[in-house]
Structure 1
Amino acid sequence: MLQEKVNIVMEALQHVKDPEIDSISIIDLGMVEKVEVNGDAVSIELLPTFMGCPALDIIRQNVVEAIAELKCFKEIHVQFIYYPPWTSDRVSDEGRLRLKEFGIAPPPKQMTETGEWHVDCPYCGSTYTTIENIFGPTSCRSILYCKSCKNPFEAMKPVSTMM
């Protein structure tokens, strides 16, 4: 029964989308760290993708609303935690596909020791890309340019704990 409720919560969270990238869920972004059910109460721990992300309050509210719609919990607690830190390798394969379909190059699955990262164009798949601006429209994205298909695009910045 307990695991069944956790599964129901996880399914509901699969429908909570990132407010800035509405094709990807917080599950596929790897933001859900822990779901704990205790009777008619549920506690959800989320990892922010970037410190200072302006969408955190919206995400929290969307999570509360999604869980409230289940009508099986009297108490809903949603908390952002900072340990372990979110890293871009938490993005699921489905999430990487959704980012690409949205026109955002997904972060690499693993970082190199030097911190360098290579980005393929999400439109044509070319490796002939350049970073135009490390600072994109949000703190988690950069602006790049594909020299093959001549399209500008965004890439999700890689985040790693390798230091």
Structure 2
Amino acid sequence: MTATTRAWEVAATVVDPELPVVTIEDLGILRDVTEDDQGRVHVQITPTYSGCPAMETIRHDLVDTLTTAGYQHVDVEFVLSPAWTTDWLTEEARAKLAAYGVAPPTHRAADGPVGLTLSVRCPQCGSPDTRESSRFGSTACKSLWICQSCREPFDHFKTL
């Protein structure tokens, strides 16, 4: 295992502070991890949206996690281009979100028209008979939905 691979594996364990069931690797925001010959680690991450308040916490968690693993110099860079999309979520992240009670976003088509979300399947009972209650949920990247079948509220991770 190369040093960079080890640094990546350590960085990949950092969880999202707003969705603690998924790691930053699961979310696809961990872009690159490099280590130079003097043991300095450089991590690149992309925010899920401009102004995401979790990014400073993620930066701090990355520095703490890598320092605890023995890396003395850790630098975290925010990379804004290309912009993150929900297509970067791993299938494992989608499954973890659903199990956590957050409806994962649908995949976007690479070409063609942008799809319109009319209904989101309830992560509790699986019913498509749901309605959006609020465009903003517990965080700005989620919206609040209510299932008409089981009457449970749930967050939906917005498609970006």
TM-score between the two structures when normalised by the length of structure 2: 0.91
Runs of 4+ in structure 1 displaced over 3 angstroms?
Answer: none
Deviation at 1:36, TM superposition (A): 1.6
Q: 2:78 aligns with which of 77, 80, 88?
A: 80
Residue 47 of structure 2 is aligned to residue 48 of structure 1: yes
C-alpha separation in 1, matches of 2:83 and 2:36: 25
> What is the CA distance between 1:140 and its match in structure 2?
0.1
Greater mean deviation of Cα atoms: 12-21 or 91-100? 12-21
Cα offset, 1:147, TM superposition: 1.2
Q: In the alignment, residue 56 of structure 1 is paired with which amino acid?
A: M
Q: For each residue in 1:27-56, what CA deviation from the matched residue of structure 2 results, as whole angstroms up to 9, or x when unmatched?
A: 000001111221111111100001111111
Q: Structure 1: how far apart are the matches of 2:92 and 2:131?
A: 25
Q: Is the 8 A contact 2:108 2:114 kept in 1?
A: no
Q: How far apart, in 2, do the equivalents of 1:128 and 1:10 lie? A: 41
1:7 and 1:148 map into 2 onto residues whose CA distance is: 47
Please give the secondary structure, in 1, of the residue aligned with 2:20: coil
Counterparts of residues 34-113 of structure 1 (less than 5 Å): 34-39=32-37, 40-71=39-70, 73-111=71-109, 113=113
Matched, 1:147 2:145: no
RMSD over aligned Cα atoms: 1.5
Distance between the aligned counterparts of 2:101 and 2:4, measured in 1? 32
How far did 1:78 drift? 0.4
Gaps of 5+ in 1: none
Give the fraction of aligned pairs with identical amino acids, expressed as a percent.
Answer: 34
Give unmatched runs, 5+ long, in structure 2.
none
Tell whether the 8 Å contact from 1:42 to 1:76 is kept in structure 2 after alignment.
yes
TM-score when normalising by structure 1: 0.89
How many residue pairs were aligned?
A: 156
Query: What do residues 77-113 of structure 1 show as CA deviations (whole Å, max 9, x unaligned)?
Result: 1011100100001010111111111111011122572
Per-residue deviation, residues 103-141 of structure 1 (Å, max 9, x unmatched): 110111225723412421111111111111112221100
Task: State the alpha-carbon separation in 2 of the partners of residues 28 and 153 from structure 1.
Answer: 21
